[in-house]
Amino acid sequence: MSAARPPDDLAVMRALADAVTICNRCGACQAVCPVYAETRIEPGVARGKVQLAAAILSGDLPVDREAAAAFSTCTTCMACEEACPSGVPVVDIVAAARAQVVEARGLPWVKRVVFGGVRRPRVLRAAAEAAARLQDAAFKPASDRDLRRLRFPHGLAARRAYPPLAAHPFAHPGPLRKAGTGPRVLLFPGCMVTYVYPGIGHASVEVLERAGVDVVAPPEAACCGVPLEAHGDLAGATELARFQLDQLEGLEFDALVAACPTCTSSFVHRYPRLLAGEPRYAARAQRLAACAYDITSYLVDVLCVGPPTRRLEATVTYHDPCHLARGLGVTRQPRELLTGIPGVRLSEMREPSRCCGGAGSFSLAHQELSLAIGARKATDIAATGAEVVATSCPGCRMQLADVLSQTGDSRPVVHTVELLAAAGR
Ligand code: SF4
Ligand code: SF4
């Protein structure tokens, strides 16, 4: 173990020094933490992480490998925050601690290379398009659904099933000038929709245009920055936040809408926090936060869309994405949209808002834990008897398809807007 760093060096965590002191160690977070349910160790749960952050801040513990491991094993699902009687901002503390780990220990070279590409939208696009062309060399089709498995599997990765990268990334030029009298919406696609599930982007355009909306897209498909912040690259995440605000400056739109709740949360919560101290950006970040919506809440709460007319005879179960249900408080709207489709019956699973274990790159960095958390979700889904699984997050869709395939369960997993688009006008 390296020597404990003096507290004066802990610049990133210092902003949350008061927050760590309000944890009363009651343990209410333990019962709801998906990581603790699998690991049964104190650093897995919020209480352990908060106490670790407090010990680092006081100089009693160093920012070492053990601390880095404890802070990295968190899906940022916010279940602990929902259960916490003291209002401890666990996810902010975890984010600050991860940034502190990078400050103290640096980013591993692989992440430096990958994040360096993610920070540059054109490099990211070129890399994604090259990877899509070459993916058949590394992956072979899985037998049970539209997923791929590694041709040369190694360890746990042998079990994982991945969706293919899109041969044609999502792109929507949008009308050059306002075409109708309806609102103008900027559809923020995000990386998962752009490069993995372009069908979610096209379905989003379809349901928005059907509701009389003019849809425009950002000039560049760029990452919202969450993967970088999740790994402690605060500088990279902040750079991407500035990039997004700069590229949207001057564009006319009434609302910013995304089909990925993690992207929406970036505009609603992260950018105002990351850019609060920057006079050039702070007010703009606040303005965007006030007009950013998840697509399901925009369709229901703002557009008040009516039900589609085409019948879809199906029993559907719905998984609540963490960043949508707890991050944005949106649970009613996707259910209203689904049950509004003639012929659709909703069969609720046990604990629909329990984390699926995906959590973006968490599913790659902690594969065993991610699969174990997801296995509970697969069991809950199977118990519903539903024919289709719906969710409102492309990342959850990917994880659910994988964990269902682990049990040989081939029922389809779709985004809510894909079912709406299929149901027509
Ligand atoms: S529920 Fe909140 S106050 Fe209680 S131990 Fe967990 S973080 Fe601390
Ligand atoms: S955010 Fe989720 S995974 Fe992380 S400590 Fe809280 S309950 Fe556990």
User: How would DSSP label each residue in 197-246?
Assistant: -HHHHHHHHHHHHHTT-EEE--SS----SHHHHHTT-HHHHHHHHHHHHH
The answer, yes or no, to whether any atom of ligand 2 lies below 6 A from the CB of 275, is: no
Q: Where are the beta strands (DSSP E) in 32-120?
A: none
Looking at the domain assignment, is residue 173 inside a domain? no
Q: What pLDDT was estimated at residue 1?
A: 37
Ligand 1 pocket mutation pick from 47, 74, 93 by most atoms within 8 angstroms of CB: 47
Q: Which atom of ligand 1 is least distant from the CA of 50? A: 7
d(CA 86, ligand 1 centre) in Å: 7
Q: What pLDDT was estimated at residue 119?
A: 83
Looking at the domain assignment, is residue 273 inside a domain? no
pLDDT tens-place values along the chain, 425 residues long: 344 444 445 666 676 778 888 999 999 999 999 999 999 988 889 999 999 888 888 778 888 888 888 999 999 999 999 999 999 999 999 988 888 888 888 888 888 888 888 888 888 888 888 888 877 777 777 766 677 777 776 666 667 778 888 888 898 766 545 556 789 999 999 999 999 999 999 999 999 999 999 999 898 889 999 999 988 898 999 999 999 999 999 888 999 999 999 999 999 999 999 999 899 999 999 999 999 999 999 999 999 998 888 999 999 999 999 999 999 999 999 999 999 999 999 999 999 999 999 988 788 888 889 999 999 999 999 999 999 999 999 999 999 999 998 888 989 999 999 999 999 85
Q: Among 81, 105, 129, where does a domain finish?
A: 105
Looking at the domain assignment, is residue 34 inside a domain? yes
Q: What is the CATH number of the domain that holds 37?
A: 1.10.1060.10
The answer, yes or no, to whether any atom of ligand 1 lies below 6 A from the CB of 21, is: no
Q: What pLDDT was estimated at residue 171?
A: 84
- State how many domains the chain has: 2
The answer, yes or no, to whether any atom of ligand 1 lies below 6 A from the CB of 282, is: no
φ, ψ for residue 23, nearest 5 deg? -70, 125
The answer, yes or no, to whether any atom of ligand 1 lies below 6 A from the CB of 26, is: yes
Ligand at shortest distance from the CA of 20? 1
Ligand 1 pocket mutation pick from 32, 80, 92 by most atoms within 8 angstroms of CB: 80
Q: What pLDDT was estimated at residue 6?
A: 41
Looking at the domain assignment, is residue 206 inside a domain? no
Ligand at shortest distance from the CA of 26? 1
**What is the CA 79 to chain-centroid distance, rounded?**
15
Looking at the domain assignment, is residue 232 inside a domain? no
The pTM for the full model equals 0.91
The answer, yes or no, to whether any atom of ligand 1 lies below 6 A from the CB of 87, is: no
φ, ψ for residue 408, nearest 5 deg? 75, 20
Decide if 207 contacts 161 (C-beta within 8 A).
no
d(CA 25, ligand 1 centre) in Å: 5
Residue 290, both tokens: 């006030």
The answer, yes or no, to whether any atom of ligand 2 lies below 6 A from the CB of 23, is: no
Looking at the domain assignment, is residue 157 inside a domain? no
Q: Which residue from 281, 181, 182, 274 is spatially nearest to 224, judged by alpha carbons?
A: 274
d(CA 327, ligand 2 centre) in Å: 13
The answer, yes or no, to whether any atom of ligand 2 lies below 6 A from the CB of 97, is: no
Which residue has a Cα nearest atom 5 of ligand 2?
46
Q: Among 105, 134, 159, where does a domain finish?
A: 105
- Spatial distance between the Cα atoms of 71 and 291, rounded to a whole number of angstroms: 32
Q: What pLDDT was estimated at residue 393?
A: 97
Quick one: CA dihedral 92, 265, 270, 72, positive or negative? positive
Q: What is the CATH number of the domain that holds 362?
A: 3.40.50
Range of the domain at 48: 7-105
d(CA 69, ligand 1 centre) in Å: 20
Q: Which atom of ligand 2 is least distant from the CA of 91? A: 1
Helix (H, G, I), strand (E, B) or coil at 256: strand
The answer, yes or no, to whether any atom of ligand 2 lies below 6 A from the CB of 370, is: no
Ligand at shortest distance from the CA of 25? 1
Looking at the domain assignment, is residue 253 inside a domain? no
- Close Cβ partners of 110 (under 8 Å, ≥ 6 residues apart): none
Which residue has a Cα nearest atom 1 of ligand 2?
76
Q: Among 80, 105, 130, where does a domain finish?
A: 105
Looking at the domain assignment, is residue 18 inside a domain? yes
Which residue has a Cα nearest atom 7 of ligand 1?
47
Ligand 2 pocket mutation pick from 33, 71, 265, 370 by most atoms within 8 angstroms of CB: 33
Neighbours of 287 (CB within 10 A): 12
